[in-house]
Amino acid sequence: MNRQAQAVLLFLLGATVLHAGWTDLHLRYVKAGLRPLLLLSGAVLIATAAATVRYEWRHAPPEAHRPEDHSEARSPEDPPDPQAHHPEPRVSWLLALPLLALILVAPPALGSHSATHTGTALQKPLGFPDLPARGPLRLGVGEYAARAVYDGGRHLRDRPLTLTGFVALDGSGTPYLVRMTLNCCAADAQPVKIALTGEIPPVLQPDSWLELTGTYTPRRTKDPVNDGPVPYFEVTATRPVPPPADPYDDTGTG
């Protein structure tokens, strides 16, 4: 592949990375905090493509800037011109297909299948941010699980709580509310799980997103996959909700 074609692919790659960074598409691949690095990377790739085109134009032989002269047609018997340009194989342009797929076919977020085949990633955090002394609380799944297990439910007791996540059912049908947590990107995503008790709907669809209202309970169980700690949540009300723009949670792995 010649440098002009390389520059085109660099430009397409940079434009794709910028598109992912400016939109919510990047949230399917990396943590939200990496968005500035994506935007910077896309800008660098586009600048590199422009520099490659400029370099090729400035260092091309003078004949490359002149209109092609057909007045002296070469005979079939003439020896091949050693400086003649050989066409590049068209198959090399297939390298652009993954870039188009990145834009047109965004992968779904990891869901209940991954959650039920992977042990909980809950770890003890370095500390707990202050919470309002009273009143209802809206918490992430990872934050609730960490406070319930490692902080004894302090500041959670006897107050209404709201959690949002997707449903997962283990092999025995036990329901969990789950959020996948990221250290860096979707490739290292791991689940944090909360077991449910109380007013649970009789029919739960795996991968459906729910907003749960309820209260803290000191009851705990162990993850059947890795024996990790899984707290319970006492459900008093449920409400279906659409999947959030950012399906991942970075608060549960400590």
Burial 28-46 (b: 16+ CB within 10 A, else e): bbbbeebbeebbebbeebb
Same-domain status, 133 and 244 = yes
Residue-level pLDDT at 182:
78
Per-residue pLDDT averaged across 191-208, rounded? Answer: 93
Total domains in the chain come to 2
Distance CA 215, CA 160 (A): 5
Residue-level pLDDT at 175:
94
Same-domain status, 140 and 187 = yes
**Burial grade of 68 (CB within 10 A; 0-12, 13-18, 19 or more):** exposed
Smallest CA-to-CA distance from 177 within 156, 161, 159, 155 is with: 161
CATH number of the domain enclosing 229: 2.40.50.140
24 located within any domain: yes
42 located within any domain: yes
- Tens-digit pLDDT profile for residues 42-101: 788 878 878 877 877 777 666 555 555 554 555 555 555 544 455 555 655 666 666 666
Same-domain status, 128 and 232 = yes
Residue-level pLDDT at 195:
96
Residue-level pLDDT at 10:
78
- What's the predicted TM-score (pTM) here? 0.66
Same-domain status, 199 and 245 = yes
Same-domain status, 125 and 7 = no
Distance CA 235, CA 215 (A): 7
Same-domain status, 157 and 245 = yes
210 located within any domain: yes
- Tens-digit pLDDT profile for residues 202-252: 889 999 999 999 999 999 999 999 999 999 999 999 999 998 887 877 554
pLDDT band, very low/low/confident/very high, at 12 (cuts 50, 70, 90): confident
**Residue 52 vs residue 191, higher pLDDT:** 191
Same-domain status, 99 and 144 = no
Same-domain status, 140 and 216 = yes
pLDDT at 169 over 70: yes
140 located within any domain: yes
Residue-level pLDDT at 43:
81
Same-domain status, 174 and 151 = yes
Provide, rounded to the nearest whole percent, the portion of the chain with pLDDT above 90.
33
Smallest CA-to-CA distance from 144 within 47, 12, 233 is with: 233
pLDDT band, very low/low/confident/very high, at 253 (cuts 50, 70, 90): very low
78 located within any domain: no
For the ranges 3-7, 29-33, 49-53, 87-91, the lowest mean pLDDT is seen at 87-91
80 located within any domain: no
Same-domain status, 138 and 221 = yes
CB distance 153 to 213 below 8 Å: no
Same-domain status, 237 and 209 = yes
Here the tokens at position 149 are 């297990």
Instruction: Supply the DSSP symbol for 203.
Output: -
81 located within any domain: no
Same-domain status, 97 and 188 = no
120 located within any domain: yes
**Residue 36 vs residue 128, higher pLDDT:** 128
Q: Which domain holds residue 13?
A: 3-72+89-104
Distance CA 126, CA 151 (A): 11
